[in-house]
Structure 1
Amino acid sequence: MNRRQLLAGSLMTPAFAAATGGEVKRRAGTKIKIGLNAYSFNKPLMAGKMTVHDVVDYCAKQQIDGVDMTGYYFPGYPAVPKDELIYSLKRHAFLNGVTITGTGVRNDFALTDASGRRGQIQLVKDWVDVAAKLGSDMVRVFAGKEVPKGHTFDQVLEWMIPAFQECAEDGKKNGVIVGLQHHDDFLKTADETIRVVKLVNSDWFSVILDVGSLRQGDPYAEIEKLLPYASNWQIKEHVWYGTKKVEIDLPRVRAIIDKVGYRGFTPIEALGEGDPAEVVTAFLMKVRKAFS
């Protein structure tokens, strides 16, 4: 029996599906550090009106503890940046008291083409190296855009899980956690996301809890279900009830955190209309008030 056959069998085994692994092992209780996802400044960054160093400066000015510096904003992405830039940013962040909590790539492991997936795996590995050089603890990844036509969710998992496992093993070797951001794409629910984490079955693979991408049912129930598997967040301005967008209830999120327990960063991502700095600052104040 080859590896693919073994995995296919495990996908259909009730005992395997009910496995209890995958939860993040941490001390009980709550310790929250406010962070920022650089995507909040996507427009000025992509337009060349802002640099990754400028994002660090904003965090320092606003007393934000950490920043998730998405890979897209390094010149030449998806190629890895030169060490000179990596170490310059690392030094700049350190001297300004800002932790670079991670970086991220736009990968797609739902691709049906094996050679295409191999390239996507290499993309993640390349940026695991970047994260390690930055002194970051995480690289953020996606599952894929959608279930390809002519395939089922479970069929895609047969090649997606080994891809994640290979990336997680590379992360382990480099001291970098591979963080899976469910994005209302291939992964739409907490249960689907948890299933992937359990199948990957690695201490170096966990969830980035994206509050704005849980659009099937009650988003707060989904958040609570996912939190034990999360080692990072994306706190956004809105949650969704199906197609209905609703302003996030931050005190309710804080109550869930206190109930379940969480220690670490809670990066915010604000994309409202207007000047990005003003939009982010306004949302930051709301988060601080609710999470204090």
Structure 2
Amino acid sequence: MPAPLSRREWIATTAATAITAGAAFTSQPAHAAGVDWQVQDAPPKAARRQPIGVSTYSFWQFKPDQKLSIEECIQKSSAYGFDGVEILHRQMTDETSAGLRSIKQVALREGIPLIGLSTHQTFVSPKPEVRTKNIEHTIHCLELAHDLGIPTIRVNTGTWGTRKNFDDLMAHKGIEEVLEGYTVDQGFEWVIDAFGECARAAEKLGVVMGLENHWGLGRTAEGVLRVIDAVKSPWLEATVDTGNFLEEQYTQFEKLLPHAVLIQAKTYYGGGNWYTLDLDYARYAQLIKASGYRGFVSLEFEGKANASVAIPQSLAMLRAAFAG
């Protein structure tokens, strides 16, 4: 039997072991954001059920007779069996500390996480004061998300505003004329500069912005990627909506998947309010699984059917698609 170590020898041996272990840990490559969460030599990812959330927009849809409170939407979402809730910012009626606490308490009691905050802004304006106002609004939404414990907000490029209204924009498949006297490149410059400023606030607050394929300069995957690639910040990624690509929808969807932090899944039971798309969710599920995305898919019901029937029907359809 070897002689027992002296106290001094034991301390020296322990310190050497700790240094060796520390060197092995710090030798892992750093992620672009500062930390590599993909641990080397980790076991294969276990199969698990795709987490499916729902946007409170699904209950609300800007319809006067459907304007439930955020708390009521959370309770209904929990009862239907969703895994998370995405909040539509325009649906919020109380942004005070007390109002935010109310939302958090209901979510806690229902055992359902708040997964996203869907916001609206436009940076496609030649007026600096308009862009500044929208930057301030976006930072305010980032602060709300931080206070609610929400990890990501949906953001938009905005539109040129050359159509009469949103109905007219949809009638033209989201295509609009460039504002007279300006160019598309100028529009992208305004958007990129604005998101560069917002990204600094997002980093401080720890909330990722997800730029959605949502009309305007973000109508196509190419437009969304042009902004993301130019800003070059891990705090600006993509919110990918299955219902907002009106051409080559699966090809465009796949292009954005590497940047996805939230996926929104449209359904149109009863016929769509502006249009109806025939979406193959079994195919979407295959694309999502192949990409390695393991985050939330958030339902956005946008049909004319009764929401109390169509929302659980949509959930059952999505569950089946991802189980297939």
Instruction: Using structure 1 for the length normalisation, give the TM-score.
Output: 0.83
Aligned pair partner of 1:205 in 224, 230, 236: 236
CA–CA distance in structure 1, aligned partners of residues 131 and 202 of structure 2: 18
Deviation for aligned residue 1:121: 0.4
In structure 2, the residue matched to 1:233 is 263
Aligned pair partner of 2:318 in 274, 287, 290: 287
CA–CA distance in structure 2, aligned partners of residues 82 and 245 of structure 1: 38
Deviation for aligned residue 1:174: 0.6
In structure 2, the residue matched to 1:91 is 105
In structure 2, the residue matched to 1:34 is 52
Q: Which residue identity does 2:129 align to in structure 1?
A: S
Asked which structure has the greater RCO (Cα within 8 Å, sep 6+), the reply is 1
Structure 2 spans left out of the alignment, 5+ residues: 1-31, 39-43, 161-177, 269-273
Deviation for aligned residue 1:140: 1.3
In structure 1, the residue matched to 2:82 is 64
Inter-CA distance 259–48: structure 2 relative to 1 (3 Å threshold):
closer
In structure 2, the residue matched to 1:117 is 131
Do structure 1's residue 277 and structure 2's residue 308 form an aligned pair?
A: yes
Deviation for aligned residue 1:48: 6.7
Deviation for aligned residue 1:236: 0.8
CA contact (8 A) 2:192 2:227 kept: yes
SS in 1 for 2:246: coil
Alignment of 1:251-266 (within 5 A): 251-266=282-297
Aligned pair partner of 1:224 in 254, 259, 275: 254
Inter-CA distance 69–188: structure 2 relative to 1 (3 Å threshold):
same
Aligned pair partner of 1:141 in 155, 158, 162: 155
Superposed CA deviations along residues 120-163 of structure 1, whole A, max 9, x for unmatched, are 00001111111011000012111011343322221112221111
Deviation for aligned residue 1:246: 3.2
Do structure 1's residue 130 and structure 2's residue 144 form an aligned pair?
A: yes
Deviation for aligned residue 1:44: 7.3
CA contact (8 A) 1:44 1:50 kept: no
Among all aligned residue pairs of Structure 1 and Structure 2, give the percentage whose two residues are the same amino acid. Answer: 28
Q: Which has the higher strand share?
A: 1
Inter-CA distance 246–26: structure 2 relative to 1 (3 Å threshold):
farther
CA contact (8 A) 1:112 1:148 kept: no
CA–CA distance in structure 1, aligned partners of residues 226 and 307 of structure 2: 36
CA–CA distance in structure 2, aligned partners of residues 136 and 278 of structure 1: 28
Q: Which residue identity does 1:231 align to in structure 2?
A: V
CA contact (8 A) 1:66 1:101 kept: yes
Superposed CA deviations along residues 7-36 of structure 1, whole A, max 9, x for unmatched, are xxxxxxxxxxxxxx99xx975967631010
SS in 2 for 1:84: helix
In structure 1, the residue matched to 2:279 is 248
Alignment of 1:9-24 (within 5 A): none
Superposed CA deviations along residues 149-180 of structure 1, whole A, max 9, x for unmatched, are 32222111222111101111101101111111
CA contact (8 A) 1:184 1:214 kept: no
CA RMSD of aligned residues (A): 2.3
In structure 2, the residue matched to 1:162 is 193
Question: Which has the greater radius of gyration?
Answer: 2
Inter-CA distance 48–189: structure 2 relative to 1 (3 Å threshold):
closer
CA–CA distance in structure 2, aligned partners of residues 256 and 202 of structure 1: 25
Structure 1 spans left out of the alignment, 5+ residues: 1-20
Q: Name the count of aligned residue pairs.
A: 261
Inter-CA distance 230–49: structure 2 relative to 1 (3 Å threshold):
closer
